[in-house]
Amino acid sequence: MGSVTRKPLIAGNWKMNLDHLQAVAFVQKLHWTLKDAAHETDSVEVAVFPPFTDIRTVQTLIDADKIPFALGAQDVSTKDSGAYTGEVSGAFLKKLDVDYVIIGHSERREYHGETDEVVAAKVQAALRHGLVPVVCVGETLEQREESGPTAVSVAQLRAALEGVPSDADVVVAYEPVWAIGTGQVASPEQAQEVCAALRTVISESLGDSAGERTRILYGGSVKSGNIASFMREPDVDGALVGGASLLADEFAAIIRYQKHVGV
């Protein structure tokens, strides 16, 4: 679609794994692995999403060693400050040079009851603080059988983009719930079908230029062996990787997907 080039983004969602000491060792190892492989850092953007307690440490390391990784958080509060025990403000994340924040991951929707309204409020909170929201959408198997492959993701994204200005920088991640952590991966064609529908939603909600420039990631059991097939699809601009982002060699191989034939 269009003439705008969208820089691929490979994002590692660590979920509740790796403490801050393990995070340091991991980021160093990933960096060295990519360096040893003479990976061209300009070709793909790499982002890591550690737990909150690791962010300061990872930020310091990335900064000191000039490691070309973007930094993300896994959630953000709808509120900016005040009596909200346990919440983390986007303002605090911004102070730590956090670039991205995952919003509406299916695990938060499922285990923390996050509704489309909460997700939309978090998107607004991220944008207020200059953080790029990585808006996650995706259907369960039952929903896919009931209403088809695109309906749930389309509705979730429409709700999340409510009130977002047309020049906002956002990333969208299509993560079919049935493919997360299950090893049951969507086919590239299935991913493409939903990602194309999501691009239409972005164009309708934020305008054609946003539709063309906004990156849409696929997530759900991404591995080094299947990443290239997703990246060949015209509306897939990257991946949100869970389990495989915790293994430095495997994650490095995913980042280096362009070395695989035909991409």
Using the contact rule CB under 6 A, the part of the chain among 19-27, 59-67, 109-117, 220-228 near ligand PGA is 220-228
Task: Quickly list H helices, 65-166.
Answer: 90-95, 106-111, 116-128, 141-147, 151-160
User: By C-beta, is 170 or 180 nearer to ligand PGA?
Assistant: 180
CB of 244 to ligand PGA, least distance (A): 6
Active-site hit among 31, 105, 114, 129: 105
Interface with ligand PGA (CB under 6 A), residue from 153, 192, 221, 229: 221
Interface with ligand PGA (CB under 6 A), residue from 45, 114, 139, 175: 175
Is residue 242 involved in binding ligand PGA (CB under 6 A)?
yes
The answer to whether the beta carbons of residues 127 and 164 sit under 8 Å apart is: yes
Using the contact rule CB under 6 A, the part of the chain among 21-29, 150-158, 204-212, 219-227 near ligand PGA is 219-227
- Tokens encoding 223: 């591995």
Is residue 219 involved in binding ligand PGA (CB under 6 A)?
yes
Interface with ligand PGA (CB under 6 A), residue from 220, 227, 252, 257: 220
Is residue 181 involved in binding ligand PGA (CB under 6 A)?
yes
The per-residue b/e assignment along 13-23, b for 16 or more CB within 10 angstroms, e otherwise, is: bbbebbeeeeb
- Tokens encoding 211: 């539709």
DSSP letter for each residue of 30-69 = HHHHHHHTT--TTTSEEEEE--HHHHHHHHHHHHHTT--E
User: By C-beta, is 34 or 241 nearer to ligand PGA?
Assistant: 241
Q: What type of residue sits at position 3?
A: S
Measured CA to CA, the distance from residue 5 to residue 22 in angstroms comes to 35
The answer to whether the beta carbons of residues 224 and 181 sit under 8 Å apart is: no
Using the contact rule CB under 6 A, the part of the chain among 1-9, 93-101, 156-164, 175-183 near ligand PGA is 175-183
CB of 207 to ligand PGA, least distance (A): 28
Q: What type of residue sits at position 46?
A: V
Q: Write out the residues near ligand PGA by the rule CB under 6 A.
A: 13, 175, 180-181, 219-222, 240-244
Q: Looking at the annotation, which residues are catalytic?
A: 105, 175
